[in-house]
Chain A
């Protein structure tokens, strides 16, 4: 990761290298990976076309040089700046450098392609201002068609295509263009250009889809594991009456022997309805603690556990009959031998598979039985029946190892977290 960024920095600083972006080693990143393919195509097109323009520079040695430099050149001041300073500032700085360097903006198409690809490395792929600044790299007014013939044909196709790629990448990251984008596009390509059409289509569809997800996940998930668990559990339970209980806050203590003992968080959720179901559970039948089950929140995966029981066998089911002496004011059922007419059965024929009840859910910092037992003992305070019911732990090991592996890693920095979790996904 670092090497590619370094590479980009060097490219930016090198006055000679204009095209090597097309051949750089890249770490592919989610939606960016898709973009990459089209980039390559345009990149090669760009190369072929721009070759006559660039004179005196051989491509291959340049690439080799940068590759070599990647491995050892660690004390390049710009690279360090990119690593140490806020990466957005660094990226902006690089764009500024390019814009200032040449009034003709020579090679800006290649530059933009390269920059697009590197955006995730700088953590600016979700920043509309950066995209606008990138579009600002295009020289203004020169690509605006001036007569009907120009308007009829694809005027400056390479540039238009490049701008479309910028918009495309925004689209892939779910980023909506703003008025500034529009003004830029009008300035660069004119009112009826292809990028402008793309902009208009985006502005047509994006608002329509913006709230298509009835269960939106915030862009920034809570950092605190307890808060994250609270959020995730509320999301799964989807019952407004369900209450989250924190059975144990994460803490680290130094024991008498001098060892560090860390207590993982244990957060659970239960609704009154679930409590009622549990109270009605036959204590001679076991309940199960099962998990971990994955829950994806954008690029983060968390795991949860459920407390459940098997569905009642048919012979234990009790038909609930309505007590005729129940409602003081009106009859709850009619004593008639008439069923609903076939023509008024408006329900669908749904084949229902019966599942056992889920009594509670939890998330824990550690996936061992001891931690989950804390949850169960916490639940027992509100559900005394658990004291009389056998509880079986049916824990799978798979995701646990994964979780341990991630825990052993150093705390990821803010910008790197999505990437890091993406790694988990792969």
Chain B
């Protein structure tokens, strides 16, 4: 929600028409503007959240978002030289071996403007939309190290200035950041703090004259930590509460390396993305002027959340780009490798792997561009749940696909002289950074639960009180569900939005969505607000939701393709139908597990096993060769 507002603010600020309003004391005016916007309700579109209520907000996801012809031409113009650069001038093997990106490569990337893809043009960036950013991400992901360096720079590093910075900050920092003259880094993680704000130790104290903050503390695993000149640093500051009490709150600062007292440690030696620079950054009494506070003092927590939430959506297209490349390389091998006088591409088990890769790439792409398109819609909808789903799905799908590709390649995939093992190493980080997939599943499930809970609380309470009317209504609904399995949410038929050749799959989606709504209601009835502690149930909820979103995305995309007659749209329909049918059964199983006393649900036993193991912090079974006599 607040992301909307902040982005709205930044948009309005950057549109230029508002700039004269700020006048000489722009800061004050911007604050006023800020406050006013806080009260305004931006139209909030919430597709994913509504799925928790068993509703499909079809207007949001159908038809599949498009970009205009001019925009397409523009992006193709951008992409062509970037693709050329990555295939000709980037030596990924060398980057991986030497664990550093050569300066001439970095220079080339800067000249292509890739350091300021989303920075508005007036600040010297490319000013591209989310969709176009995703498109470029597809290409830059061909080298994991470069992709991560770029992401750390602009998806999180300078995002703070971009979405929450004031006019002066933007004017001061963005041009140099967009050109790549300065590199940005995002400093949140600390030795004792990953996702827990309470354990942030870095402290910012106001100097006596009130003009500077002194920042002291250490931040670890900072991407670009060694390269960066501008840091977005989160530190504790003493803030006076509404009720006059002093409280420690997190504040975000823009820190230049030139301020002094900033030292970065030795680059970490990593499993993958070895060329990206990750190191510890130490701040020792770094003097930061008060103008460099991002947003307001004590507002760092919200800023951090917004930056993190907005940085994720592009991972889907990036992973899809990588898999598409991998399919090409692997298919080449499978077609030429002969065993028993047959090429291995004739073997069913090899074919299965290619189908899986194609399907995953297709789904990821569909989800990523659907989400990017939603984010580009006017009104700036809050798509953080959708973006998180894209991240979870694509990182896990990517890992599976790379692993399967290596399996096709056999020994070749395992050798360092071929690029494949590097893909495997590089792509492992996707499941970990920008919020681990576990944490994002919690976010996905809990955000939806909160939304559904608000709406359903009254009904559930009535039911618990024993209101016969509500109970009968419930019973009637259940009866109806059990008699007829047909669910019509209006995606097909007369006012349908889906192409008739996808009707079967759409029915499956509708049925799943309906069942999901009932399941969520049941979970809320059973657990109430203590659902927060039921992580295993929440994981299943998140998985179902991710599948539902993926199904929606592929249906929407395939419908569009078939309707406008894109090349190979029949293949898309095939992929969409296969995926939907696959996901349908997975969803049904997951939701069956979520029913009360379901025999399919092993959660209690799983918990117990983990408890036993963790109590001893070891595998506790006796060795199979042990004897007692």
Q: Do A and B bind each other?
A: yes
Task: Name A's B-contacting residues (CB within 8 A).
Answer: 176, 178, 203, 206-207, 210-211, 240, 323, 325-341, 343-344
- Are A333 and B250 in contact, with the CB atoms below 8 A? no
Extra contacts besides A335-B529, A338-B524 (10): CB < 8 Å: A325-B250, A326-B196, A327-B195, A328-B188, A330-B439, A330-B440, A331-B447, A334-B532, A335-B450, A338-B457
- Are A329 and B195 in contact, with the CB atoms below 8 A? yes
In the complex the two chains form, what is the Cα distance from A203 to B302 in whole Å? 67
- Are B196 and A327 in contact, with the CB atoms below 8 A? yes
User: Is B17 positioned at the interface, with any CB of A under 8 Å from its CB?
Assistant: no
Q: A178-B629, A325-B197, A329-B440 are in contact. Are A339 and B308 (CB under 8 A)?
A: no
Within 8 Å by CB of A333, from B197, B305, B443, B532, lies B532
In the complex the two chains form, what is the Cα distance from A343 to B523 in whole Å? 12
User: Is B417 positioned at the interface, with any CB of A under 8 Å from its CB?
Assistant: no
Instruction: Tell me the smallest distance from the CB of A237 to a CB of chain B, in Å.
Output: 14
- Are B308 and A328 in contact, with the CB atoms below 8 A? yes
User: Is B85 positioned at the interface, with any CB of A under 8 Å from its CB?
Assistant: no
CB contacts (< 8 Å) of A334 on chain B: these are: 446, 449-450, 453, 529, 531-532
Nearest B-chain residue to A209, judged by Cβ:
B628
In the complex the two chains form, what is the Cα distance from A256 to B52 in whole Å? 84
CB contacts (< 8 Å) of A176 on chain B: these are: 629
CB contacts (< 8 Å) of A207 on chain B: these are: 628-629
Task: Name B's A-contacting residues (CB within 8 A).
Answer: 188, 195-198, 249-250, 301-302, 304-305, 308, 435, 439-440, 442-443, 446-447, 449-450, 453-454, 457, 460-461, 464, 524-532, 596, 617, 628-629
Instruction: Tell me the smallest distance from the CB of B305 to a CB of chain A, in Å.
Output: 6
CB contacts (< 8 Å) of B195 on chain A: these are: 327-329
Nearest B-chain residue to A210, judged by Cβ:
B628
- Are B442 and A326 in contact, with the CB atoms below 8 A? no
CB contacts (< 8 Å) of A340 on chain B: these are: 526-528, 530
Within 8 Å by CB of A323, from B198, B461, B525, lies B198
In the complex the two chains form, what is the Cα distance from A333 to B446 in whole Å? 9
- Are A327 and B197 in contact, with the CB atoms below 8 A? yes
- Are B453 and A336 in contact, with the CB atoms below 8 A? yes
Show 26 A/B contacts (Cβ-Cβ < 8 Å), sorted by A.
A206-B628, A207-B628, A325-B250, A325-B302, A326-B196, A328-B301, A328-B305, A328-B435, A329-B439, A329-B440, A330-B440, A331-B532, A334-B531, A334-B532, A336-B450, A336-B454, A337-B461, A337-B529, A338-B461, A338-B529, A339-B529, A340-B526, A340-B527, A341-B525, A343-B526, A344-B527
In the complex the two chains form, what is the Cα distance from A211 to B197 in whole Å? 45
Instruction: Tell me the smallest distance from the CB of B75 to a CB of chain A, in Å.
Output: 31
CB contacts (< 8 Å) of B461 on chain A: these are: 337-338
Q: A329-B443, A333-B529 are in contact. Are A206 and B629 (CB under 8 A)?
A: yes
Q: A330-B439, A334-B449, A338-B457 are in contact. Are A325 and B526 (CB under 8 A)?
A: no
In the complex the two chains form, what is the Cα distance from A333 to B443 in whole Å? 11
Identify which of A178, A335, A340 gathers the most chain B CB atoms within 10 Å of its CB.
A340
Q: A325-B197, A326-B196 are in contact. Are A339 and B443 (CB under 8 A)?
A: no
Instruction: Tell me the smallest distance from the CB of B598 to a CB of chain A, in Å.
Output: 13
Q: A323-B198, A327-B195 are in contact. Are A338 and B528 (CB under 8 A)?
A: yes
In the complex the two chains form, what is the Cα distance from A329 to B301 in whole Å? 10
In the complex the two chains form, what is the Cα distance from A338 to B449 in whole Å? 12
- Top 6 A-B residue pairs of the complex, sorted by shortest distance between their CB atoms: A338-B528, A207-B628, A330-B443, A325-B301, A330-B442, A336-B453
Nearest A-chain residue to B453, judged by Cβ:
A336
Within 8 Å by CB of B308, from A329, A332, A336, lies A329
In the complex the two chains form, what is the Cα distance from A331 to B444 in whole Å? 10
Instruction: Tell me the smallest distance from the CB of B584 to a CB of chain A, in Å.
Output: 27
In the complex the two chains form, what is the Cα distance from A340 to B596 in whole Å? 13
In the complex the two chains form, what is the Cα distance from A240 to B616 in whole Å? 8
- Are B305 and A336 in contact, with the CB atoms below 8 A? no
In the complex the two chains form, what is the Cα distance from A207 to B629 in whole Å? 7
In the complex the two chains form, what is the Cα distance from A253 to B302 in whole Å? 65
CB contacts (< 8 Å) of A333 on chain B: these are: 529, 532
Q: A334-B529, A338-B460 are in contact. Are A328 and B304 (CB under 8 A)?
A: yes
CB contacts (< 8 Å) of A339 on chain B: these are: 528-530
In the complex the two chains form, what is the Cα distance from A344 to B525 in whole Å? 10
CB contacts (< 8 Å) of B197 on chain A: these are: 323, 325-328
CB contacts (< 8 Å) of B443 on chain A: these are: 329-331
In the complex the two chains form, what is the Cα distance from A331 to B301 in whole Å? 13
In the complex the two chains form, what is the Cα distance from A202 to B394 in whole Å? 59
CB contacts (< 8 Å) of B525 on chain A: these are: 341
CB contacts (< 8 Å) of B529 on chain A: these are: 333-339
Identify which of A206, A332, A335, A336 gathers the most chain B CB atoms within 10 Å of its CB.
A336
CB contacts (< 8 Å) of A203 on chain B: these are: 629
Nearest B-chain residue to A335, judged by Cβ:
B450
In the complex the two chains form, what is the Cα distance from A327 to B527 in whole Å? 22
Instruction: Tell me the smallest distance from the CB of B202 to a CB of chain A, in Å.
Output: 14
In the complex the two chains form, what is the Cα distance from A371 to B446 in whole Å? 55
Instruction: Tell me the smallest distance from the CB of A23 to a CB of chain B, in Å.
Output: 38
In the complex the two chains form, what is the Cα distance from A339 to B526 in whole Å? 8
Nearest B-chain residue to A208, judged by Cβ:
B628
Nearest B-chain residue to A340, judged by Cβ:
B530
Within 8 Å by CB of A211, from B596, B617, B628, lies B628
- Are A341 and B629 in contact, with the CB atoms below 8 A? no
Instruction: Tell me the smallest distance from the CB of B576 to a CB of chain A, in Å.
Output: 31
Identify which of B250, B457, B526 gathers the most chain A CB atoms within 10 Å of its CB.
B526
- Are B435 and A329 in contact, with the CB atoms below 8 A? yes
Identify which of A328, A331, A336 gathers the most chain B CB atoms within 10 Å of its CB.
A328
In the complex the two chains form, what is the Cα distance from A337 to B454 in whole Å? 9
Within 8 Å by CB of A326, from B198, B302, B450, lies B198
CB contacts (< 8 Å) of B528 on chain A: these are: 336, 338-341
Instruction: Tell me the smallest distance from the CB of B297 to a CB of chain A, in Å.
Output: 14
Instruction: Tell me the smallest distance from the CB of A167 to a CB of chain B, in Å.
Output: 14
CB contacts (< 8 Å) of A323 on chain B: these are: 197-198
- Are A240 and B617 in contact, with the CB atoms below 8 A? yes
Nearest A-chain residue to B617, judged by Cβ:
A240
In the complex the two chains form, what is the Cα distance from A206 to B628 in whole Å? 9
In the complex the two chains form, what is the Cα distance from A338 to B459 in whole Å? 11
- Are B442 and A329 in contact, with the CB atoms below 8 A? yes
Nearest B-chain residue to A342, judged by Cβ:
B464
- Are B196 and A331 in contact, with the CB atoms below 8 A? no
Q: A325-B250, A326-B196, A332-B532 are in contact. Are A341 and B526 (CB under 8 A)?
A: yes
In the complex the two chains form, what is the Cα distance from A206 to B524 in whole Å? 50
In the complex the two chains form, what is the Cα distance from A240 to B529 in whole Å? 33
Identify which of A240, A333, A334 gathers the most chain B CB atoms within 10 Å of its CB.
A334
- Are A331 and B450 in contact, with the CB atoms below 8 A? yes
Identify which of B525, B529, B596 gathers the most chain A CB atoms within 10 Å of its CB.
B529
CB contacts (< 8 Å) of A331 on chain B: these are: 443, 446-447, 450, 532
CB contacts (< 8 Å) of B440 on chain A: these are: 329-330
CB contacts (< 8 Å) of B527 on chain A: these are: 340-341, 344
Q: A329-B195, A330-B442, A334-B529 are in contact. Are A341 and B464 (CB under 8 A)?
A: yes
In the complex the two chains form, what is the Cα distance from A240 to B614 in whole Å? 10
Identify which of B196, B450, B457, B629 gathers the most chain A CB atoms within 10 Å of its CB.
B629
In the complex the two chains form, what is the Cα distance from A330 to B305 in whole Å? 9
In the complex the two chains form, what is the Cα distance from A311 to B530 in whole Å? 28
Instruction: Tell me the smallest distance from the CB of A343 to a CB of chain B, in Å.
Output: 7
CB contacts (< 8 Å) of B628 on chain A: these are: 206-207, 210-211
Instruction: Tell me the smallest distance from the CB of A162 to a CB of chain B, in Å.
Output: 24
Instruction: Tell me the smallest distance from the CB of A338 to a CB of chain B, in Å.
Output: 3
In the complex the two chains form, what is the Cα distance from A12 to B528 in whole Å? 80
In the complex the two chains form, what is the Cα distance from A394 to B628 in whole Å? 46
